[in-house]
Chains A and B, each alone.
Chain A
């Protein structure tokens, strides 16, 4: 899509997610899910012939940033970037409804007693939105399993933002759809997860600073809005720069994926997730400081975005994890190769 239609897409997504803003619950937002299904955002990057919208990863970037900004309570990254992609790559028909996806290393998989498929035992750990989705795409080695959650035991857990991160216990569960994916998919899965999470982070950072700017212009102390105080202006300018950095890094990584594919964009994705994670901590700190005590309470909505910043920076690889990979790439490149690595031009 062109830059122009990308702007339209972003505005549409901001409107859809903004309308759904609701601090009274942390549960899956079924009504919002209907909206994203109707508007084609739910399977945005899945090819049209597989029932998706055939969008680019840059399109997904615009949508996911908006979802993060408005703390959308739907598994968009999991459904579109991960599960639908993985199932489609494995030649398994993508089921309707919200989906999740995970990588599992410790499952016992045996040919099904009754014919097609497999009997699967083991636990899928901290599956995003596990309790809320009908099915989970599981990558076990190079095998893809489509696990129907109705047959799984659910042990509920949450992340810092109280988003579901549930353990799904499989006890000789018969999985009918089992297929093998090319090994590149194994490489691609964590990169997709990291980019998706980084885009959400960039959005949540934007949402937090937007709230702090608004609060600063409304909150009066010393006889004037605190926005007039240089100390507040300087702090929020720093936070604004962090938002800009997270946005630039994640949008650039998405573009890189559109140009070269996920595997070839691994350096960009690693740098983007690390940089967005770094921005997250700084933005959460500054926006809470600007809000004062009220932002530290359950009654104020700031927590919806700041708890997501804290949760997501550690999910799908923290700054430490991705910077370690970036550092290894720099060492491998050496003194003469560092600038070519940064510019992507050998």
Chain B
């Protein structure tokens, strides 16, 4: 090779094939979802992993062994692989099923407890997560700390037997229903030469004295977000996650789970299903058929990329870079889907429309869209990670 030849790192691992073992699992999930829909238990919605809080449904999933799938059996889980979990989650999301109650706990809290938690913490939380009875939120952002997560100011001071926590977390989805969250906090003063030092993760009981939870209504008025204020909340030593001072490293690992799943490209998939319901049986001109095909080609590609990440997770890796790539592509695509769908048929969005119908799904999708490219790290932050992976910074 001449010295002018440049090479590029592989940003996303090669595609994986799903193992044979998951085919039966997929059929079981589909049969269950069909039953639920036939019974009218819920109607498909967009962005259900934020807005579809349904504890009955969550417990039904748990009863079938579809929560805590990767958690070892000694902690009440099912000891299955990341690809088994992947199949279940993609089926639930594609169907627009109400998965919000267990989403955070099942996606990132379980794996983090397995990686960093003490035996006591695992025993305390994991069986409840797998049973669909213990729900978690995320305690990262603060009023003055969004993309610059290392600037968090919530502070825990050493006291006898534990830590005393003071500060505020924001944008915590479901905190008003959840039992606990991991708060990323400062446990030693900020060091400007090492901004990532001195951070720790504490497991905060959201019902504990000194914790106040206030709603932050979304632009629709709906209550999903919350502000969580800590006023001298006592956190016993037993509720420190991992090591004091290792919070940044731990939270980065947690983000690999938070960012890598199929929910990062499927939030608006139920809208496309409803769209097909509207246009099936009609003659579609070539231009619109191509637009529809363009969406489907991109869905197919994103799914292969998303599966590649699940394969890496199954192999025990933390594919932070690949997750950033797919989340950036996928969440932009979730928005593009809305525009394509609204231009393919002449049905205006209707927030009061029939649940599960195109007009209602379109309204939900449009009004939830700003969140897609913000939550779990803005796309600008993700591209910064990709740029680092490319060797630019």
Contact with B along A271-294 (1 / 0, CB 8 A): 110110010000000000000000
Which of B170-178, B183-191, B383-391 binds A?
B383-391
In the complex, the answer to whether B292 meets A330 with C-beta atoms within 8 Å is: yes
Query: A232 vs B393: C-alpha distance in the bound complex, in angstroms?
Result: 11
B14, B272, B298: the one within 8 Å of A251 (CB): B14
Interfacial residues of chain B within 268-325, with CB under 8 A of chain A in the complex: 269, 272-274, 276-277, 279-280, 284, 286, 288-294, 296-305, 308, 322, 325
In the complex, the answer to whether A237 meets B328 with C-beta atoms within 8 Å is: yes
B216 at the interface (CB under 8 A from A): no
Output the nearest chain B residue to A70 by Cβ-Cβ distance.
B5
B27 CB, nearest partner CB in chain A, Å: 8
**Main DSSP-derived SS at the A contact region:** helix
Query: A233 vs B389: C-alpha distance in the bound complex, in angstroms?
Result: 11
B1 at the interface (CB under 8 A from A): yes
Output the nearest chain A residue to B23 by Cβ-Cβ distance.
A345
Q: How large is the interface on B (under 10, 10 to 19, 20 to 34, 35 or more residues)?
A: 35 or more
| Given A245-B305, A323-B297, A338-B276, A237-B290 contact (CB < 8 Å) | no
In the complex, the answer to whether B296 meets A330 with C-beta atoms within 8 Å is: yes
In the complex, the answer to whether A240 meets B325 with C-beta atoms within 8 Å is: yes
Contact with A along B1-45 (1 / 0, CB 8 A): 110111110111011010000010010000000000000000000
Output the nearest chain A residue to B275 by Cβ-Cβ distance.
A335
| Given A213-B391, A331-B280, A339-B94, A249-B301 contact (CB < 8 Å) | yes
A20 CB, nearest partner CB in chain B, Å: 9
Residue from A267, A275, A333 with most neighbouring chain B CB atoms (10 Å):
A275
Query: A207 vs B5: C-alpha distance in the bound complex, in angstroms?
Result: 9
**Main DSSP-derived SS at the B contact region:** helix
A contact residues around B383 at 8 Å (CB)? 233-234, 237-238
Q: How large is the interface on A (under 10, 10 to 19, 20 to 34, 35 or more residues)?
A: 35 or more
In the complex, the answer to whether B380 meets A255 with C-beta atoms within 8 Å is: no
Residue from A245, A251, A275, A341 with most neighbouring chain B CB atoms (10 Å):
A245
B329 at the interface (CB under 8 A from A): yes
| Given A234-B380, A248-B308, A323-B297, A228-B393 contact (CB < 8 Å) | yes
Query: A275 vs B276: C-alpha distance in the bound complex, in angstroms?
Result: 21
In the complex, the answer to whether B286 meets A324 with C-beta atoms within 8 Å is: yes
A contact residues around B273 at 8 Å (CB)? 335, 338-339
Query: A319 vs B288: C-alpha distance in the bound complex, in angstroms?
Result: 13
A contact residues around B222 at 8 Å (CB)? none
Contact with B along A308-330 (1 / 0, CB 8 A): 00000000000110111111111
| Given A255-B15, A331-B280, A274-B294 contact (CB < 8 Å) | yes
Query: A306 vs B277: C-alpha distance in the bound complex, in angstroms?
Result: 40
A contact residues around B384 at 8 Å (CB)? 230, 233-234, 237
Query: A216 vs B273: C-alpha distance in the bound complex, in angstroms?
Result: 42
In the complex, the answer to whether A342 meets B1 with C-beta atoms within 8 Å is: no
